[in-house]
Structure 1
Amino acid sequence: MELNGLTTGIASAKDEAALLALINLVQPHVPWTRAHLYWQFFDLPAGPAKLYVIRDGDAIVSLYAAIPQILEVEGHSLEARMVQDVMTHPDFRGRGFLHHLAGVCLDNINQSDIAGYTFPNDRSEKSFRRGGWSELCEVPHRSKDLRGHIHSGVSLRIEPLDGLFGEWATEVWNVAGLSVGVRRDAQFLNWRYGKPDNKYYKYLIEDDRGLLVLKLYSDGVSGVLHILELVLGIRARDLLPEVLAFCFDFAAGHGAQTVTAWLANGHPYAPQLDAAGLVIKPMRKRFVFVHAPAAYARRVEDAAAWHLTQGDSDVF
């Protein structure tokens, strides 16, 4: 790769203006504000993002972002990086910049003995195959058509959470009995659902037996309800059918025609989602790739072991 006077390095909060300039040039349809930039890159509970960049003077012309999260694997905490927000200025494309930054990022992951995961689309997934990542699965996209839905009148106590998640939420995660997934403790949940300029519907299930986070989306013609988080203590899994019925009632009551969720086959909740009609309908446009230290690879590379939801994606 020929840099021809350009330099590589790590960006920080001091590069706010240069980062926003590149991001909003490349994706003007989803512009970022300063608040979004700090939420996404610098105010995470696991620490600031690793932002691998190539610079042309004061300008950033290529960005490869790796967001820190804490992955829980069979009760063990493992630092991880979620690769996202990968882009190059249009005037500098075709020079191998992202391939170079991807190699630097993966070397850093390997040297630090941490894990990585990412959700590339069908245009970028080949670069992860070539780069030594392992394909976990296609994104396990589930959906249910609500046309003809009849209100079920759920009697379960599912109450809105108006404030922050407390330590009760951490305890729900601790007793959920889930094998692999980003740790859903109170810190993570409060950061994740503090995303600027987004509205989330947060709920407690039977006081402290579970938690639920929903998001409505409408394109002006049709509406969709996304189930972003649904975690139950292992002894509360029998509540799942009623929780799903609540979600369907909520969606229909807000004019949504479709409910979506992510959850892999083999997950403890999967049979109940299937029975409720919330079934996997692969989109074949987005994939899940992972990379893990040898000691954790067997479990991290097992799609059925993962608690993978739409809340893991920054899109929602």
Structure 2
Amino acid sequence: MNNKWIDNEQDLELVKQLFNNNDSPRTLQHLKWQYIDSYCQEGRLVLGGIDPTLLKGLTGIYAIFQNRFISDNQKVTASQSLDTLVAPEARGQGLFNKLASQVYDEAKNRGIAFVYGFPNGNSAHGFFNKLDWINLDPIPFLVLPLRSHYILSKMPIINKVSNLLPNITYLKKIKYQTSFDIVENIPIDSNYDQLWTAFSKKINTGLIRDAKYVNWRLSRPGEDYQNVAILDNKGEMQAICIYSLKEKHGGLIGYIMELIYLDDKLGSIALNKALQNLKDSHCDAVLAWNFNHSPNHAAYKANGFLPLPEKIRPIELHFGVRIFNENLRETLSDRNKWYLSYFDSDTV
């Protein structure tokens, strides 16, 4: 088994073939967006296992995505663990550990501070028990049910009679009196950057979500993202909620991708307007990733979001970090220092 660094568009066809052959189809357009067209000029670290019995065939891949982060009041280059896949015929041979170890060695040589990510139920054991990841579980899933039939259908025992019960649709409406403007689908530009700069001062460790990053993230092929923003009398952005609606998990699911604001009341209003839009589009439930300690948690609480019990979560995901920069170990090992949102997810 040989290894190959994957760093150009020609290699994407090999990656596409590996995923398509293993029940995880990807389009070339999506792979190009993720691996080639990234706003982050440092690039990706992508290593694939080549089976010499196959003509240029990949039997495994491990990829991390370099990015700009804040941690302990300093800007660092860190990375997110993205694609991990080993074909069935190559499993049990240590290929996953071999690829990941080589990627991590290169990451340390490049001065990358850490790699974090969200292993699924199949790969979590390998990350936490073989690759020295620190477990920071659980992912802070929040849910806001909008239609009772959907949420009851996911609950044990009750799901058997959920269709016999009334399908109640409810959303708390936050009243407001403000001379500020509520606008929709505003460009993400320098006005947004001013808001992000102020908001980010309340974050210890997290991905830098400036306009450069957000515009790339929202260009994800095949997705439709919307936003609601609040502007003051000078036209300066005071709050923004970015969201999407997808057919997923057996229903129409809303996702709060990001919520950034200066004032809890204005943040609650922006979020509520986004939720009203989702409700009007027949959304069944809305999901978010948000810690209790996050600077925007008050807005989620004001709008009625609740922790999503692990028993009814749509997928099994875990949260962890592998640390390369020892100076950040104490901070990165503490989940209370992290900020997460659905912008950290690579599946929505």
Report the residue type matching 2:145 in the other structure. D
Match of 2:83, SS? Answer: strand
1:152 is matched with 173
2:29 is matched with 35
8 A Cα contact 1:125 1:287, kept in partner = yes
Question: 1:162, CA displacement in angstroms?
Answer: 5.3
Q: Aligned pair 1:19/2:50, yes or no?
A: no
2:284 is matched with 257
Question: 1:35, CA displacement in angstroms?
Answer: 1.4
Question: 1:219, CA displacement in angstroms?
Answer: 4.7
8 A Cα contact 1:142 1:263, kept in partner = yes
Distance in 1 (alpha carbons) for counterparts of 2:121 and 2:15: 25
Trace 1:119-198 onto structure 2 (pairs within 5 A): 119-130=118-129, 131-147=131-147, 148-150=169-171, 152=173, 157-161=181-185, 163=187, 165-176=188-199, 177-198=202-223
Q: Which runs of 5+ in 2 are unaligned?
A: 148-168
Question: 1:269, CA displacement in angstroms?
Answer: 2.3
Q: Aligned pair 1:286/2:309, yes or no?
A: no
Q: Aligned pair 1:63/2:61, yes or no?
A: yes
Question: 1:63, CA displacement in angstroms?
Answer: 0.3
CA 81–220 in structure 1, closer or farther in 2 if over 3 Å, else same: closer
Paired residue for 2:80, among 79, 82, 96? 82
2:101 is matched with 103
2:153 is matched with none
Question: 1:270, CA displacement in angstroms?
Answer: 2.3
Question: 1:222, CA displacement in angstroms?
Answer: 3.0
Question: 1:273, CA displacement in angstroms?
Answer: 2.0
Which range moves more in the overlay, 189-198 or 214-223?
A: 214-223
Q: Which runs of 5+ in 1 are unaligned?
A: 1-5
Question: 1:220, CA displacement in angstroms?
Answer: 9.8
8 A Cα contact 2:239 2:267, kept in partner = no
Larger Rg: 2
Give the TM-score normalised by structure 1. Answer: 0.89
Distance in 2 (alpha carbons) for counterparts of 1:237 and 1:219: 30
CA 223–195 in structure 1, closer or farther in 2 if over 3 Å, else same: same
Question: 1:283, CA displacement in angstroms?
Answer: 2.8
Distance in 2 (alpha carbons) for counterparts of 1:241 and 1:202: 14
Which range moves more in the overlay, 204-213 or 65-74?
A: 204-213
Distance in 2 (alpha carbons) for counterparts of 1:308 and 1:218: 23
2:4 is matched with 9
Question: 1:49, CA displacement in angstroms?
Answer: 1.3
Distance in 2 (alpha carbons) for counterparts of 1:154 and 1:199: 28
Among the aligned pairs, what percent are the same residue?
A: 22
Which digits, 9 at most, give the CA deviation of each residue in 1:247-305, with x for residues without a partner? 32122111112111001122122244234321222437211111231222222222222
Report the residue type matching 2:36 in the other structure. F
Distance in 2 (alpha carbons) for counterparts of 1:94 and 1:213: 42
Distance in 2 (alpha carbons) for counterparts of 1:251 and 1:119: 26
Distance in 1 (alpha carbons) for counterparts of 2:305 and 2:337: 19
Report the residue type matching 1:39 in the other structure. W
Distance in 2 (alpha carbons) for counterparts of 1:219 and 1:109: 34
8 A Cα contact 2:229 2:270, kept in partner = no
1:52 is matched with 47
Aligned residue pair count? 306
8 A Cα contact 2:230 2:239, kept in partner = yes
8 A Cα contact 2:260 2:296, kept in partner = no
Paired residue for 2:252, among 205, 210, 223? 223
CA 254–135 in structure 1, closer or farther in 2 if over 3 Å, else same: same
Distance in 2 (alpha carbons) for counterparts of 1:188 and 1:142: 24
1:297 is matched with 329
Question: 1:151, CA displacement in angstroms?
Answer: 6.5
Question: 1:157, CA displacement in angstroms?
Answer: 3.2
Match of 2:240, SS? Answer: strand
Match of 1:32, SS? Answer: coil
* Divergent runs of 4+, >6 A: none
Distance in 2 (alpha carbons) for counterparts of 1:81 and 1:91: 29
Which range moves more in the overlay, 186-195 or 121-130?
A: 121-130
8 A Cα contact 1:154 1:246, kept in partner = no
Distance in 2 (alpha carbons) for counterparts of 1:171 and 1:27: 43
Which digits, 9 at most, give the CA deviation of each residue in 1:118-146, with x for residues without a partner? 10012211111121111122111100112
8 A Cα contact 1:139 1:282, kept in partner = no
Which range moves more in the overlay, 43-52 or 105-114?
A: 105-114
